[in-house]
Structure 1
Amino acid sequence: MSAIARAPSSSGAVTDPIRVMVVDDSVVIRGLLGRWLDEEPGLAVVASHRNGRLAVDDVLRSNPDVVILDIEMPDMDGLTALPLLIEKKKNLVVVVASTLTRRNAEISLKALSLGAADYVPKPESNSGVTTSAEFRRELIEKVTNLGQRARSRGLPGHAPAGRPASRLPQGAGAPPAPHGALRASRPSSFTIRPYSSARPRILTIGSSTGGPQALNTLFGEIGSAIGMVPVVLTQHMPPTFTAILAEHITKAAGRPAAEGRDGEVIQPGRIYVAPGGKHMLLAKNGNDVVVRLSDAPPVNFCKPAVDPLFKSVVDIYGTATLAVVLTGMGADGAEGVRRIGEVGGSTIAQDEESSVVWGMPGAAAHTGMCSDVLPLHDIGRKVSKILLGGRP
């Protein structure tokens, strides 16, 4: 059975709410998510279904902007329903909800390759969902921001080609984004600083929403230049997911990628992924540089977070630091980018048009400390050229 929820009245503050469909085989979960979403200004649950088949049959009639899609359901599961939903409504945002098992992590990453915009890890029990403030916060944040992105710009695959950022002298551009801010519109200009004259000795990357797809593209295009330096990266992901992500990156890069292990000496040509639930940093140990894992509190609501990694990298490598900030919500990484710029290192941020959400790269760009703001498909070639010693 499906249930249609009421939309906010015309007297409410939001006149054009983001329309949400909830698809889950648990009536308890459907009811809970429906209440959470309907309580948020600017969101309205327009349909609720117990399986994928009902959702596919109803998607044109209910016309949601965002679908929250469970993985394991009777009759038609989420992975089967996903491409059918997107085929019926081309600009639909699908957020996959799955529990933290290895199988579901693999399915969630598969869903991203099939067109899902993002995933949200779901506590394993109904009681866990009910009491998890973090799950509620993350769900609402993703629905809101991905829905806004789809409404205002269209999905990346359907967006018009981006125009390059204007290059202005340092100090002449727009002010930095406020901490945690999301940029909804394209800025008229950026402050672009020169690339470092030092050849990079490390590549460090930060990403979040849309990151797994972006990372596969980036590593596929960097090519053999990855062998020149160690690569360290933080992708906002929970435990289990990061191990699967590393396996996917290994295939895309043709180089070994794995979760970083505490005390591990980093080596050129290897890719170290921050494990879910831990911050990953670098530290000196004699003449070696080693991985350090930290159980410190979340930074920017994230664990792992990008800022601790970036700051630890630049403290060791200074002007020989090359950083990349890819698609993601929030502003994690911006303070690290500021530090990299202050010591003379280089950062490339992904542009708005090619980002699923232009939060993290937008915040990085607005520090005035980036050396380029580029479309995703240009970043890999640029990084490769720089690592091989070419002029940026």
Structure 2
Amino acid sequence: MKAKIKVMLVDDSAVVRQVLTALLTKDGSIEVIASAPDPIFAMDKMNSNWPDVVVLDVEMPRMDGITFLKQIMSVRPTPVIICSTLTEKGAATSVQALAAGAVAIVTKPKAGLKNFLEMDAGDIVQAVKAAAGANLRPFRNLNVASANTASIPPAKIKIDEVMPALNASLTSAMAVTTDKLVAIGTSTGGTQALEAVLKKLSRTAPGIVIVQHMPEKFTEAFADRLNKICEMEVLEAKNGDRVIPGRALVAPGGRHMQVKRSGAQYHVEIIDAPPVNRHRPSVDVLFRSVAKCAGKNALGIIMTGMGDDGALGMRDMHDAGAETIAQDEKTCVVYGMPKEAVKLGAVDKIVPLDIIASLIETYGKK
């Protein structure tokens, strides 16, 4: 019989701890082995029974969550999920936690824990299961921490229900232009994987459009942080933003992003539409639009993440003549999304994380 996933809850709210315990233990594959109101109590309990996953608040008395997270990662690296409030302050703090080594973010309800229990149970259960299987070794080797996943709406709508399948004739005749773009899709493990790539790129690198599965508000804080540490300009995308060399546009949480073409220029369109593959933004939505509007003028990259979002869209890009790359299993925190794209025959190259930046720069010079 498969062992249950052992979870430790650390939150100063007794109500939150009770709700999360009920929510998680309802799933037969998860066991909450202990809970604590702050990191000091938590470490005492963890020393006698170390968990597989820690669910951690970031704002607590005696010791804040980020300090505790850094201690965990230095003593015994363990998948940590940040349970954060959906506020600007909570988003900024949670992005710091991702940089310190957290593997995921789940958001606390704005109001009504009962609603949270009844409506959003799948979010944290899926996050815990993904975290339990996370491979933390690549990020220790690269001196960067592991990363993030977003909350997952319950219904799984496929890309064809939101965007029609491509008409091959639309892309097969598209001429190659000098205005190229790079489209990147990622999820669990993606925030620090993206950091590892973008920090190596120059201001002359081709324009980049990115979907990182993340809740609303968090993408703005994430983009702001990257903009401070990267040579490229990194922005949370706004409707109509141009895709230009030296700029990376991150799809805003809670909305889809598409690429549109005007002459030889590209811009993004931010749209409200149902979640695709349980995600909004969805990698499939971005990739399919790039296949349609850029075709041979694009490079598609699918990186670490749980699930299959992006696989069909990458096949569209591949069939439209784009170059396609997948991050390899060894350097993925979760080898889900790249694996599904490879299975569809949508990938030209499978490469480790540390050479993706150089491939982007080379592509831009072709």
- Give me the TM-score of the superposition, normalised by structure 2: 0.85
**Residues 225 and 388, structure 1, Cα contact 8 Å, conserved in 2:** no
Matches of 1:288 and 1:87 in 2, distance apart?
A: 47
Partner of 1:369: 346
Deviations 1:111-163 (A, max 9, x none): 112121222122233436635623x212111111221335xxx6434689xxx
Q: Please list, as runs of the form range in 1=range in 2, the aligned pairs for 1:175-254 lying within 5 A after superposition.
A: 201-226=180-205, 229-254=206-231
Residues 377 and 199 (structure 1 numbering): CA distance in 2 closer, same or farther, change over 3 Å?
farther
Does 1:278 find its partner at 2:263?
no
Instruction: Select between 77-86 and 49-58 the one with higher mean Cα deviation.
Output: 77-86
Matches of 1:322 and 1:255 in 2, distance apart?
A: 18
Residues 140 and 235 (structure 1 numbering): CA distance in 2 closer, same or farther, change over 3 Å?
same
Matches of 1:263 and 1:38 in 2, distance apart?
A: 45
Cα deviation for residue 15 of structure 1 reads: 3.9
Partner of 2:73: 86
Residues 76 and 254 (structure 1 numbering): CA distance in 2 closer, same or farther, change over 3 Å?
same
Runs of 4+ in 1 over 6 A off after TM superposition: 197-200
Matches of 2:312 and 2:209 in 1, distance apart?
A: 17
**Structure 2 residue runs without a partner (length 5+):** 143-157, 160-175
Matches of 1:129 and 1:64 in 2, distance apart?
A: 27
Does 1:316 find its partner at 2:316?
no
Identity %: 36
Matches of 1:220 and 1:361 in 2, distance apart?
A: 22
**In structure 2, which of residues 214, 222, 233 is the aligned counterpart of residue 256 of structure 1?**
233
Q: Please list, as runs of the form range in 1=range in 2, the aligned pairs for 1:44-83 lying within 5 A after superposition.
A: 44-83=31-70
Does 1:106 find its partner at 2:88?
no
**Residues 122 and 129, structure 1, Cα contact 8 Å, conserved in 2:** no
**Residues 259 and 289, structure 2, Cα contact 8 Å, conserved in 1:** yes
Matches of 1:155 and 1:72 in 2, distance apart?
A: 28
Matches of 2:332 and 2:69 in 1, distance apart?
A: 21
Deviations 1:71-106 (A, max 9, x none): 112222211211222333x24111111011122111
**Aligned pair count?**
335
Deviations 1:203-259 (A, max 9, x none): 111111111111111011233441xx3211111111211111111222343122212
CA RMSD of aligned residues (A): 2.3
Partner of 1:183: none
AA partner of residue 147 (structure 1):
A
Matches of 1:16 and 1:238 in 2, distance apart?
A: 31
Instruction: Select between 270-279 and 77-86 the one with higher mean Cα deviation.
Output: 77-86
Does 1:137 find its partner at 2:122?
yes
**Residues 199 and 387, structure 1, Cα contact 8 Å, conserved in 2:** no
Does 1:41 find its partner at 2:18?
no
Cα deviation for residue 314 of structure 1 reads: 1.4
**Residues 280 and 292, structure 1, Cα contact 8 Å, conserved in 2:** yes
Cα deviation for residue 44 of structure 1 reads: 0.9
Residues 249 and 91 (structure 1 numbering): CA distance in 2 closer, same or farther, change over 3 Å?
closer
The 3-state SS of whatever aligns with 2:220 is: helix
Deviations 1:360-386 (A, max 9, x none): 122122221211111111111122122
**Residues 53 and 76, structure 1, Cα contact 8 Å, conserved in 2:** yes
Residues 363 and 213 (structure 1 numbering): CA distance in 2 closer, same or farther, change over 3 Å?
same
**Residues 91 and 218, structure 2, Cα contact 8 Å, conserved in 1:** yes
Does 1:331 find its partner at 2:317?
no
The 3-state SS of whatever aligns with 2:240 is: coil
Matches of 1:268 and 1:157 in 2, distance apart?
A: 28
**Structure 1 residue runs without a partner (length 5+):** 1-13, 161-178, 181-196
